[in-house]
Structure 1
Amino acid sequence: MRRKWIWVAVLIALLAACSQDSENLPRAYVSFPERIDPQCRNGKARVFDECGDQLALFTAALAKANSEGKTLLVEYGAEWCIWCHVFDAHISGEHGEFRYTYGLPRDPEARHTQKMAEDPSGAQDVQAKALRDFVAANFVVVRIDAQYAPNGKAVLMRTGAIRHYSGGVPYIFTVDGSARFAADFNHETAERRRDTEVNWYRGYDRVDMLRQFTLMRDRARANVATGTGT
């Protein structure tokens, strides 16, 4: 419990620093793909490039991260994956109420829409902004399609992440500047969920996300190849 309160204090300090230096700290993180062909799978590809070369996408994102002195954060996922959209919403600073469109592993073509709200907390706004700004300041994010793109899994092979991958999406990890696997994200400690029929929720603990992201960034910088969740 004491360690968690330490990370809460870190979040508050980060937000204060962001407010004092708002002109120098970006508010939106850099992400790839930068553009998706509107004709890709008849317009169904919205976040993940389901038609393009994923190795080329990864290479471009890594070059961008290296040029900006940031760490590349890889999200291996799919359009149908609700947890992928939950992750994206959280690193974008969203909080309070969410609306997701998703499918199912057994039926990725399905389109379900779910609106959900997290339990109210006075810390949500502070935590959401601090997490968003930390991601923007430290990472370039690349989304690699695991469902339809021809060579999504090749990125796992290229980076060595395949040795740590146990299946399922999203699989989130960092690499060093030479594209070598550094660390992965442990969903078990970060996920927050409710499963009643009338009170359904999927979300993340932002304090734990910040803790893990700090570790994942630092391991990428130090070129220490080990997973946070393995």
Structure 2
Amino acid sequence: MDTIPPLLDHLVLATPDLAATVADFARRTGVAPAPGGAHPDFGTRNHLVSLGGASYLEIIGPDPDRSPLPGGTVFGVDGLTTARTVTWAISPPDLDAAVAAARDRGYDPGTPYPMSRRRPDSTLLQWRLTGGDSAHPSGLVPFLIDWGDSPHPAASGLPVTPLLAVSATAPDPAEIRPLLAALGTDLLLSEGPVSLSFTVDTPHGPVTFR
């Protein structure tokens, strides 16, 4: 199978210390991630790197300019002790149709809900995505995202580290594969502790993040 998942929109590298992880990424790859923006309702901020084509990497962590939120931050970044790749997203051609099709196939990815943030140039980005309580606890089953009329982050002149491969391990890969199939995507899976990793091409050669 292809080592890059079909419909991949972005990978999520979550961290308890955004500045430190961005600096580490730049040191290891020779490519400095670009500031993305803040998520005011969730207490997080991100930096972005294009993975080539219509995919990108989101490095997300607590926003140092905001107090922790009572309900916790997205992707559990406030509970992490080290940076790790926690999940990924796909962008089907029709989000609502993809959700309905997945439900018909026995997997409910959740009801899409809206989010937004402003880029450093003040452009407002608005999108819908699935997730929340319905997300698979492993993070290995992607959430779905629809950027609507907003410019896609990968098309905004980001620095680039071309994606070479994505892979994962799970205690029971056979439990994950039907859920991926229900969403119309796939992931190179083998048996092991829950883990998601990706490899990018860089001026320093291939670099793998987990």
Place the TM-score, normalised by the shorter chain, in its bin: under 0.3
Report which of the two has the higher share of helix. 1
Larger radius of gyration: 1
TM-score, normalised with respect to structure 2: 0.27
TM-score, normalised with respect to structure 1: 0.26
